[in-house]
Amino acid sequence: MVRGMAASGVPADPAWRAAFEEVPRHLFVPYYYADGSGGGRLLWSGDPDPVARGRWLRGAYADTALATRMRDGRLVSSSSQPSLMAGMLDELDVRDGDRVLEVGAGTGYNAALLAHRLGDGLVTTVDLDPEITESARAHLAASGHRPAVVTGDGARGCPQRAPFDRIIATCALPSVPHAWVDQCAPGARILTPLATGLLSLRVTDGAHGRAAQGRFLYTAAYFVALRGAVAAGGDPEDVTGGVPRHALRNDLFQFLLALSAGALEPEEAYALWRRERRPDRDRYGVTVTPDAQWAWLDDPGGPHTWPLRGA
Cβ neighbours of 41 (radius 10 Å): 11
- CA distance to 16, 24, 219, 267, 274, per residue, from 196 (Å): 24, 28, 9, 20, 19
Strand (E) or helix (H) holding 287: strand 284-288
User: Which is nearest to 197 in space by CA: 279, 277, 284, 274?
Assistant: 284
CA quadruple 40, 79, 11, 226: dihedral, nearest 10: 120
Strand (E) or helix (H) holding 169: strand 164-169
Annotated active-site residue in 77, 78, 79, 80 = 80
Q: State if pTM tops 0.85.
A: yes
The reply to whether 80 belongs to the active site is yes
Give the pLDDT confidence score for residue 37 in this predicted structure. Answer: 62
User: Which is nearest to 37 in space by CA: 1, 64, 62, 4?
Assistant: 64
Give the pLDDT confidence score for residue 233 in this predicted structure. Answer: 42
Strand (E) or helix (H) holding 125: strand 123-127
Q: List per-residue pLDDT tens for the chain, 311 residues long.
A: 999 999 999 999 999 999 999 999 999 999 999 876 656 789 999 999 999 999 999 999 999 999 999 888 888 899 999 999 999 999 999 999 999 999 999 999 999 999 999 999 999 999 999 999 999 999 999 999 999 999 999 999 999 999 999 999 999 888 999 999 999 999 999 999 999 999 999 999 977 889 999 999 999 988 888 765 444 444 444 444 679 999 999 999 999 999 998 899 999 999 999 999 999 999 999 999 999 999 999 999 999 999 998 77
Give the pLDDT confidence score for residue 66 in this predicted structure. Answer: 94
Give the pLDDT confidence score for residue 2 in this predicted structure. Answer: 97
Give the pLDDT confidence score for residue 309 in this predicted structure. Answer: 84
Burial tier of 55 (Cβ tally within 10 Å: 0-12, 13-18, 19+): middle
CATH number of 2-219: 3.40.50.150
- CA distance to 159, 194, 198, 288, per residue, from 281 (Å): 31, 11, 9, 18
Where in the sequence of the chain do the CATH 3.40.50.150 domains occur? Answer: 2-219
